[in-house]
């Protein structure tokens, strides 16, 4: 059977590169890394496994932990960009109202630091944060590798460039750069943050959010935690994220725990994923009409700026 491009499997030769025991930590470059979780995903995966709304919790590539700084990473995944270029996710756009509220809250947390100026959103998806930033008076644009999500942004007439960050058509410096739940998808987080430093204006600020592997729910649920998933290949806590920023010449200004919004039917369906089958909750259609805020304090938000030069 011939697979369509969007369904093409990337076989084990590219996904599971032989692990070199001298491979260093992506954050601190220490060579002492230890395997803490064995891969439980298939020997080949497709772009479908990388969808934003994927609910296969606990399924990851092998995870290795640095014995110096504690950072957890999936060395064996190989090149992941092709998955994001081919990614299609219709459920993501269905959640636009809830995701737009999240974007608005995130932008409000930046207003006291940078009330105006040029904004770049990395991993912009279909442009929800860009759209809200434009409404709030920012000169906003984004960059997104998924052709499908970029097409949706174009339908909304939003300035989102197709491609990966850093992008040749970007025109720095920017007064605000946002990385909302994207840093955990990069196999080279230090390079990304260094590029952010380069593109940020001297008076600019950045914002990064990511799941917190050191949070209460992450600890009690172990590898069944909902943020252990195929697409996540870097797992941060406050210590490792702060270290990554500082090492990239970026100074944290504010740390908080962002909350999110969900339709009640979406939330109930996800809850049923972790409940025993005997007590699964019904999901009547009327639940889709209700939106609820939720904060489990298992994500990190850090506002940062460039470290002042002496």
204: exposed, middle or buried (C-beta count within 10 Å: 0-12, 13-18, 19+)?
buried
Residues 295 and 260 sit within 8 Å (Cβ to Cβ): yes
Q: What is the mean pLDDT of residues 38-57?
A: 92
Q: What is the mean pLDDT of residues 15-19?
A: 35
pLDDT value at 21 more than 60: no
Residues 6+ apart with CB under 8 A from 155: none
Going by DSSP bridges, is the β-strand pair 200-211/234-235 parallel, antiparallel, or unpaired?
Answer: unpaired
Instruction: Give 23's pLDDT tier (boundaries 50, 70, 90).
Output: confident
Q: Each residue of 56-108: pLDDT tens digit?
A: 999 999 999 999 999 999 988 888 999 999 999 998 998 999 999 999 999 99
Give the per-residue pLDDT at 306.
Answer: 97
Tokens coding 97: 């109202």
Q: Where are the domains of the chain?
A: 92-210+250-306
Residues 6+ apart with CB under 8 A from 164: 81, 84, 143, 145
Going by DSSP bridges, is the β-strand pair 260-263/174-180 parallel, antiparallel, or unpaired?
Answer: unpaired
Q: What would the CATH number be for the domain defined by 92-210+250-306?
A: 3.40.50.150
Q: Each residue of 153-193: pLDDT tens digit?
A: 999 999 999 999 999 899 999 999 999 999 999 999 999 99
Give the per-residue pLDDT at 8.
Answer: 38
Does 163 or 16 have the greater pLDDT score?
A: 163
């Amino acid at each position: 059977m011939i697979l369509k491009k969007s369904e093409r499997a990337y076989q084990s030769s590219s996904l599971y590169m032989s692990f070199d025991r001298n491979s260093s930590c992506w954050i601190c470059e220490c060579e002492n890394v230890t395997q803490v979780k064995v891969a439980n995903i298939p020997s080949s995966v497709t772009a479908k496994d990388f969808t934003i709304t994927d609910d296969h919790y606990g399924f990851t590539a092998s995870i290795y932990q640095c014995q110096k700084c504690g950072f957890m990473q999936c060395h064996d995944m190989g090149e992941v960009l092709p998955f994001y270029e081919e990614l299609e996710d219709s459920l993501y756009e269905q959640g636009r109202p809830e995701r737009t509220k999240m974007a608005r809250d995130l932008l409000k947390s930046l207003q006291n630091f940078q009330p105006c100026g040029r904004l770049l959103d990395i991993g912009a998806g279909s442009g929800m944060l860009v759209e809200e930033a434009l409404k709030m008076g920012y000169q906003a644009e984004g960059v997104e590798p998924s052709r499908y999500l970029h097409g949706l942004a174009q339908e909304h007439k939003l300035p989102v460039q197709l491609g990966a960050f850093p992008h040749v058509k970007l025109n720095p410096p920017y007064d605000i750069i946002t990385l909302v739940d994207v840093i955990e998808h990069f196999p080279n987080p230090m390079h990304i943050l260094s590029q952010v430093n380069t593109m940020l204006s001297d008076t600019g600020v950045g914002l990064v959010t990511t799941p917190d592997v050191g949070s209460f729910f992450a600890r009690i649920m172990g590898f069944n935690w909902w943020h252990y998933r195929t697409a996540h290949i870097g797992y941060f806590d406050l210590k490792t994220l702060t270290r990554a920023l500082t090492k990239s010449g970026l100074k944290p200004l504010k740390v908080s725990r962002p909350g999110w919004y969900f339709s009640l039917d979406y939330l109930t369906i996800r809850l049923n994923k972790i409940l025993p089958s005997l007590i699964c909750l019904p999901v009547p259609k009327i639940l889709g009409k209700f939106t609820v805020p939720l904060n489990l304090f298992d994500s990190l938000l850090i506002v940062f700026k460039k470290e002042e030069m002496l």
